[in-house]
Structure 1
Amino acid sequence: MTSSTTDAPRQDVDPAPGATSGGGPLGLIKRAFGMESASVLVATVVLILVIGAIHPDFLDPRQLRDVLQQSVYVAVLAAGVAFLLAMREIDLSVGAIFGLSLICSAMLMRDGWNPWVAAVAGIVLGALLGLANAAIVQVFRIPAIVATLATLSMFRGLSLALSEGQQVVGLPLDHTFFEFFGGRLFGIPVSVLVLVVVAIVLTFVLRTTPFGYRVRSIGSNPDAAAFSGISLARVRIQALMLMGGLAGLAGMLGLAYFGSGDPNIGSGFELLAIAAAVIGGTPLRGGAATVVGAMLGAVLLSVVTSGLVYFDIPVNWSSFATGAVILIAVGIDSLLRRRREARAAAAGL
């Protein structure tokens, strides 16, 4: 990679770890809901209102709650993807890690393990699978996108092999694990509340901790980050382990909600998570990310998927329509970014 002026660290990387532009929690909240996050939030609300104007049933609180529930798993994955994109990395195996963690924990529960212990084991397994991805990248010196493309098939194959291609059933659904994480609190699905907690924690990590600063510094200029003493290998390992752990967490939330393990679950989640992160305002060029925006991007995709049902669009066309929405959203975002950069450049002259 050449070290030209275009690779110089941008202003979206904080000057020091722990620094916040607004000062205190208020500044963190303002930055969490930046321009990109606000844009996707407005787009989501407008889309809901448009669908609701044509099909009022879509505005039923129970329907909106289901839409939000369905977005949780991709939203958790998208939060991890935002970290990776911020440092110019990508993990294509997140959907397979989600599925393998879910299957393994379901099998442990079926075999008599305490569901809480099995759930923790599933999250740990996800982090270890992320570590395996990182080890492959480091040992063979290949891009993460290539390594995780291979492990995508490996992890998916393990899910099918371990479950013998059958659903894992016979779980203790009356256990507190399923009743709590598969239930509601104050009328809100617990998984949605977990998503909110994850958003707060990861935004704090990304914006105020040395790890988050290093992630953004590497994405902004890898050569400069390495020159300043940041270990690219160490941060890459930590980021991929975080991604794996989040995939494991999403798998446990899915297991609690569905109450069984499907070896095909999570297929295609990796592409949806990447799309959600980009739609939410995390640029592919690295150096910046928005966890909240990535999660809102997942909600937007869930609204699109659910809205298509109300328009009686055949299932064979649903993937086409979802892809078109992603392309339009990313195209508009790219256009707006170029205009902002052009205005900024003109103002600097």
Structure 2
Amino acid sequence: MGLLGASGYGGGELLRLLKAHPGVELVGFSSRKHQGKPLAAAWPQLWDERPFASQEEVLERSEVVFLALPNGLAMEIAPRALAMGKRVIDLSGDFRLPPGVYEAWYGIPHQSPTLYREAIYGLPELHREEIREARLVANPGCYVTAATLALAPLAAAGALKGAFVVGLSGVSGAGREGEGTFYAEVNENLKPYRVGGTHRHIPEMERNLGRLLAQGRPVRTHGEAGEVRLAFTPHLVPMTRGILVTAEAEVEGDWRQEVLDELYGDFYAREPFVRVLREALPETKGTYGSNRVDLKPLYEARTGRVLVFAALDNLVKGMAGQAVQNLNLMMGFPEETALPKEGLWP
């Protein structure tokens, strides 16, 4: 396996997980910023004497290539990798949306529009069987994973009409060179960002839930999609990692607590990395360092609202861990291989 873009937070976490994978030989990793330098120049916590290689060296040596690159670069590299017979897991947003939708929300002309029809959406809880056969997987991000899994059972039941989602993210979600993430700016500070329906993950959330609404389960990446309108307001929280989502769902039908518990329990009964909580509420520390998502649906009797809470580690299940989960499916490894289910505490 090889990794392009190994010096970002997601790339570093992916290296950590891959180095502990019993079925993986990590043949190379690249970073334009650190090429030729030892791995410890970017990641002192990782023990590997090899230097960062060039992209060409990594592509040549690898059977499967992870692309942990900024948006806009994977669409240029993926076609070449596929032509070389490689399988590709892309951690950027380049193949998650139809090219026209991508261009409208990301502001980047799509260089490989025909490849979108081949890309499989890499959320195993919804697309497991498609992922097994995929050559190109579009790995979802952290907010989208949390919001989609929080609302998926309601959408698949045909009950979801829309939702208002509030997301809170640790600073690592902004990336290693994210704007406004200096210690003096984030410490003891909480702020919303990309508000008013401008966050680029909104169409991805709506498309995921729309597919479930139209298809039920199992769901196909390029199958029919219904319409779900979703409002999303993200916030930056002064902690290193973690995502907490609170979704207020607009639903049809009677969704008292016992009905919600049965729906969510049945929907995720066979999912190795989704835990539906009965009494406790999800919290970020509970999933810290794990590939797990904790969910809690709640019927608010006083107002008749349905709330769903979701917590995950943005660098594991929200990025690198999910990529390894997709790798396991593609290569026929047991799905849980090298992926922690237990969080770190405190």
Bigger RCO of structures 1 and 2 (CA < 8 A, at least 6 apart): 1
* TM > 0.5 fold call: no
Normalised by the size of structure 2, how large is the TM-score?
A: 0.21
More helix, by proportion: 1
